[in-house]
Amino acid sequence: MTIEVKNIHKRFGEFTALNNVSLDFPNGELTALLGPSGCGKTTLLRIIAGLEHPDSGQVLLDAEDASQRHVRERQVGFVFQHYALFKHMTVFENVAFGLRVKPRAQRPSEAQIRDKVKQLLELVQLDWLADRYPPQLSGGQRQRIALARALAVEPRVLLLDEPFGALDAKVRKELRRWLRRLHDELHVTSIFVTHDQEEALEVADQVVLMNKGQVEQIGTPDQVYNHPASPFVYSFLGNVNMFHGRVQDGVLASGDASFAVPGQAGNAGKGTAYVRPHDLEIERYTPGAEGIVVKLLRGHAIGPLAQLELERADTGELIEAVLGNERYSALQLREGETLVVRPKRLQVFVDAGVAI
């Protein structure tokens, strides 16, 4: 099923949750709605499900206006962050619930329900827990049961609201890989809400970055990470260093350093260069060396990477850098040492967010 939302507006009192949001969700793809708390992503998900109604705008399911359809008529499966399982029911009965409450004319036979539930529990690899109760399960197991229950009614759309938000980091990582494999098997059009950028970039086919009720950027994980459309996107997706200065004749002057900005001859204005920590080259300072002169405040290796905390000599601003552990060991850097850093790759925005 394709999903399209057109010009969605939603306010809660004086707060604007969604401001003229229009999006397409392709058939069979897994889309992440990504952004900070309060940006409108859960509100949009609930509007698609029919759990909230927009003040204006349309929700189209397979090109048909579903704005006035009841949630039961939209054929969506919804998975909540906190599972919402029935504690007094076994795992089997939780998964069977959606089938048992169907209208009599649409309700499968008892034998069909048993077969369907068995099939779904095998799909989520928890058929051996059919007779257990939710309090007897781990958080990861409960979330998989919640997903099986959502799939039992054969939804045309699967909606997940921070499905792994209540789990610890290791379980989250395992489950998101499992969700990606499951989606590749089922190909149900799916939308999941998250504020975890690593989760979105690892799992989704398409990422929608939201901020303050509006869409900042839409694209594949590679597009939004490597080609951010705005300072917000650059800052939200991973750590970043910002070098403030002024752009003049294709050069950004920042403190005592300057950086070439190709293709901008003739343009002028305040600008900020955004550089990720792993896109910085580091070497010992020698007189006349090009780059930003810094002092090493702290360096420590974690697994294959070393993280460096640096202080600019000209402005006193802090810079974060990441090196491969082998390179870090070979340099034999000492705290307090003077170094030079040079961006291997940067992106400059001028005048409140115009990319150059």
Is pLDDT at 264 greater than 80 in this prediction?
Answer: no
Q: What is the extent of the structural domain holding 68?
A: 3-236
Do 299 and 168 lie in one domain? The reply is: no
Question: Which of 73-77, 207-211, 281-285 comes out lowest in average pLDDT?
Answer: 73-77
Beta pairing, strands 189-194 & 157-161: parallel
Task: Using a pLDDT cut of 70, give the percent of the chain over it.
Answer: 95
pLDDT of amino acid 27: 92
For 65-113, the three-class secondary structure string (H helix, E strand, C coil) is ECCCCCHHHCCEEEECCCCCCCCCCCHHHHHHHHHHCCCCCCCCCHHHH
Question: Average pLDDT, stretch 70-82?
Answer: 80
The residue ranking higher by pLDDT, 165 or 50, is 50
pLDDT band of 352, cuts 50, 70, 90? low
Mean pLDDT of the chain: 88
Pick the last residue of a domain from 236, 253, 276: 236
Strands 251-254, 257-260: pairing is: antiparallel
- Decide which of 230 and 153 is more confident: 230
Domain co-membership, 27 together with 140: yes
User: Which CATH number is 63's domain given?
Assistant: 3.40.50.300
In a shared domain, residues 18 and 142: yes
Q: What is the CATH number of the domain that holds 284?
A: 2.40.50.140
Centre a 10 Å sphere on the Cβ of residue 97 and count the other Cβ atoms it contains: 16
Domain count across the chain: 2
The 10s digit of each residue's pLDDT in 179-232 is 888 888 888 899 999 988 988 999 999 999 999 999 999 999 999 999 999 999
Same domain, 123 and 180: yes
Q: What is the pLDDT of residue 59?
A: 94
- pLDDT tens digits, 307-343: 999 999 999 999 999 999 988 988 999 999 999 999 9
The pLDDT of residue 86 is 85
| Structure-model confidence comparison of residues 293 and 80, the more confident one | 293
The average pLDDT across 73-97 equals 84
Same domain flag for 164 and 249:
no
Nearest to residue 236, comparing CAs of 32, 76, 81, 30? 32
- 307 and 178, same structural domain? no
Angle between helix 110-123 and 91-100 (nearest 10): 130
Do 71 and 15 lie in one domain? The reply is yes
263 pLDDT band, cuts 50/70/90, is low
Q: Are residues 94 and 199 in the same domain?
A: yes
CA distance 10 to 40: 9
Answer whether residue 267 shows pLDDT above 80: no
Whether residue 9 is predicted with pLDDT greater than 90 in this model: the reply is yes
Q: Are residues 8 and 30 in the same domain?
A: yes
Q: Given this model, what pLDDT does residue 125 score?
A: 84
pLDDT at residue 241 is higher than 70: yes
pLDDT band at 69 (very low <50, low <70, confident <90, very high): confident
User: Looking at the structure, do residues 19 and 87 belong to the same domain, yes or no?
Assistant: yes
pLDDT classification of 99: cutoffs 50, 70, 90: confident
Do 227 and 270 share a structural domain?
Answer: no
Domain boundary among 236, 266, 299: 236
Residues 250 and 182 reside in one and the same domain: no
Last residue of a domain, one of 191, 212, 236: 236
CA distance 262 to 82: 49
